[in-house]
Chain A
Amino acid sequence: NAGVMQNPRHLVRRRGQEARLRCSPMKGHSHVYWYRQLPEEGLKFMVYLQKENIIDESGMPKERFSAEFPKEGPSILRIQQVVRGDSAAYFCASSRPAGPVNEKLFFGSGTQLSVL
């Protein structure tokens, strides 16, 4: 029973390039969340998606960042025209549909993005 799978583990991009981070949720999970961890900081919520729907993107930067969770395939976090400040660890989590008390997040191992 595979957990939440993220790839790549490490991604190096030059300024101005695009970064695509992938997340495959646990089997049976239809909810996906993306968090970002900047150096020396805690994880910060970015976006919450269900299949083919963005439910809450209140934590997403207004420009250059987008996320999708298609009917088939992994969730993708896309960062266009990366800048050095985008360097961070990006974590994906998944869960089954549940109320707040019973909801449990399972986290992936993260993608470390380095922008040169």
Chain B
Amino acid sequence: AQSVTQPDIHITVSEGASLELRCNYSYGATPYLFWYVQSPGQGLQLLLKYFSGDTLVQGIKGFEAEFKRSQSSFNLRKPSVHWSDAAEYFCAVGSPSGSARQLTFGSGTQLTVLP
């Protein structure tokens, strides 16, 4: 069975600082990988996804993520955080044999941005 671990429940960074959110997955082959963001009172919004090819994926809002097969990781990064990035971030894995709909989500990382 596939699973996702986000080891950091809560991260606090200063505005302008760099950010890395960790995500580790468990899956027998190369999965589909996603990062979603949820702002307060909003639904989840897709930041980026990885299916195949280049292991460094660019997303919206200046985010990127790198798939590292050897570490079973798909960490999310941003060089300079903005106050509007404060939100909860979810990593998710999907099965290539199924559909993006049957995603398994991590428990989320809450990001706080200090002025």
Contacts and interface: CB of A to CB of B under 8 A. Distances in A.
Interface size grouping (class) on chain A: 20 to 34
Interface stretch (B12-20, B58-66, B78-86, B97-105): B97-105
Q: Interface range on chain B: under 10, 10 to 19, 20 to 34, or 35 or more? A: 20 to 34
A30 interface: no
B43 A33 contact: no
A95 interface: yes
Interface in A59-116: 59, 91, 93, 95, 100-101, 103-110
Interface of A: 3-4, 31, 33, 35, 37, 40-45, 48, 56, 58-59, 91, 93, 95, 100-101, 103-110
Interface of B: 4, 6, 32, 36, 41-46, 51, 90, 92, 94, 96, 98-108
